[in-house]
Amino acid sequence: MDNYGLKNEAKDIAERWVKLNEKVYTNTGKMMEKYNVVDSKLDAGGGEYKSQDGFGWTNGVYLAMKAKLRNGKGHNP
């Protein structure tokens, strides 16, 4: 979305996803495989594996989104 000029929408989605990751991690001590950014009151989880500490792709995307929001205000310059 960011690459197609929908910068506000991209930032909003990234912020909601990062916030949900942080909320679930605070509550469970785990990064999950799947999240629902439409209804953040729903429990995270699901997928074909049991919840794992430090689910790989989630950790990487979380760190990238957090850095982008912190350093680039949520979009590419």
| Ranges of H-type helices in the chain | 7-28, 56-72
Residue 35: exposure state from Cβ atoms within 10 A (0-12, 13-18, ≥19): buried
- Taking alpha carbons only, the member of 12, 25, 24, 20 closest to residue 39 is 20
3-state secondary structure of 18: helix
3-state secondary structure of 11: helix
Domain assignment present for 21: yes
Number of domains in the chain: 1
* Single-letter amino acid code for the residue at 28: T
| pLDDT per residue as tens digits for the range 1-49 | 889 999 999 999 899 889 989 988 888 888 887 777 677 777 676 667 6
Which structural domain, as residue segments, surrounds residue 24?
2-72
| pLDDT per residue as tens digits for the range 41-74 | 776 766 676 666 777 888 899 999 999 999 875 5
Domain assignment present for 25: yes
